[in-house]
């Protein structure tokens, strides 16, 4: 039964799905929290839920295609930002149905996960996803702030235009000073970051692991919020707790 993913590409998913391989950590958590018996493989970087015991297929950018094919998945779930088109096409050429998500806003995340679970995985909408929809519908922005959101250093890289992370923060009242940049994740020299007009720096613990001792010292005089990268960048069960937890961390931001 062919269905179309977020990119409008067809995926010949069987009427009953028994085996799902995920090549994105947040999608792995999504499937595991909804129908754990379906999960037949995941990347080496898939750390949630804790203690996940499934075959591993390397990373999001270098998946072991032969291993994935050997696992005989009914569908592979991926994401247009996380996974390379060449790998997706190679799997499809081998006859493996692939469902690609495309997520750049909270609204897209909620709709995309609903479609992935019901159409690609053939499972009912889970309670946690319904709860996430209710939680985000009730979010009220906090105190307006202007922020830079680094995701890497050496070289410094920040969140730019059209990102899920930027939308999450915008809904909480935090505007991204690089939201109008031509790149989605631009490389910006540190001296430009500190002079960008922000009054807040948001430092997640992934993909680069910023900590109290690694990152805040580069932004003297600015409020710094150290936050969970999972809550800021993942789309899945973390959507339920993200608004309240992130709002608390943002409210507690202070110079380090």
Indicate if 141-251 has the same CATH topology as 2-135. yes
3-state secondary structure of 199: coil
pLDDT in tens, 79-133: 999 999 999 999 999 999 999 999 999 999 999 999 999 999 999 999 999 999 9
Q: Where are the domains of the chain?
A: 2-135, 141-251
Q: Does domain 141-251 match CATH 3.40.830.10?
A: no
CATH hierarchy code of domain 2-135: 3.40.50.1980
What's the pTM value of the predicted model, to 2 decimals?
Answer: 0.93
What pLDDT is recorded for position 160?
97
| Secondary structure, 3-state, 85-133 | HHHHHHHHHCCCCEEEECCCCHHHHHHHHHHHHHHHCCCCCCHHHHHHH
- The alpha-helical segments, DSSP class H, found in the chain are 25-34, 65-70, 85-93, 106-115, 127-137, 164-171, 190-194, 229-233, 238-251
pLDDT in tens, 26-62: 999 999 999 999 999 999 999 999 999 999 999 999 9
Q: Quick one: average pLDDT of 213-234?
A: 96
What pLDDT is recorded for position 256?
84
Reported as a pLDDT band with limits 50, 70 and 90, residue 139 is very high
Please give the Cα distance from 216 to 233 (Å, whole number).
20
Q: At residue 1, does pLDDT exceed 80? A: no
């Amino acid at each position: 039964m062919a269905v179309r993913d977020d990119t409008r590409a067809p995926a010949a998913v069987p009427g009953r799905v028994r085996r799902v391989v995920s090549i994105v950590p947040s999608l792995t958590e999504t499937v595991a929290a909804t129908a754990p018996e379906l999960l037949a493989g995941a990347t080496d970087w898939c750390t949630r839920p804790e203690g996940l015991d499934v075959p591993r297929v390397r990373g999001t950018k270098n998946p072991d295609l032969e291993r994935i094919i050997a696992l005989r998945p009914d569908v592979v779930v991926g994401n247009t930002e996380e996974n390379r088109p060449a790998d997706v096409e190679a799997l499809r050429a081998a006859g493996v149905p692939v469902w690609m998500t495309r997520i750049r806003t909270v609204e897209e995340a909620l709709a995309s996960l609903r479609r992935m679970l019901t159409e690609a995985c053939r499972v009912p909408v889970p309670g946690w996803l319904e709860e996430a929809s209710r939680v985000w519908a009730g979010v009220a922005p906090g105190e307006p702030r202007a922020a830079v959101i680094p995701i890497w250093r050496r070289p410094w890289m920040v969140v730019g235009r059209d990102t899920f992370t930027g939308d999450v923060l915008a809904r909480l009242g935090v505007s991204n000073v690089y939201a109008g940049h031509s790149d989605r994740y631009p490389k910006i020299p540190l001296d430009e970051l500190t002079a960008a007009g922000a009054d807040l720096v948001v430092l997640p613990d992934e993909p680069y692991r910023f900590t109290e001792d690694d990152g805040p010292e580069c932004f003297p005089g600015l409020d710094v919020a150290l936050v969970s990268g999972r809550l800021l960048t993942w789309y899945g069960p973390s959507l339920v707790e993200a608004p309240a937890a992130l709002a608390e961390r943002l409210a507690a931001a202070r110079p380090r």
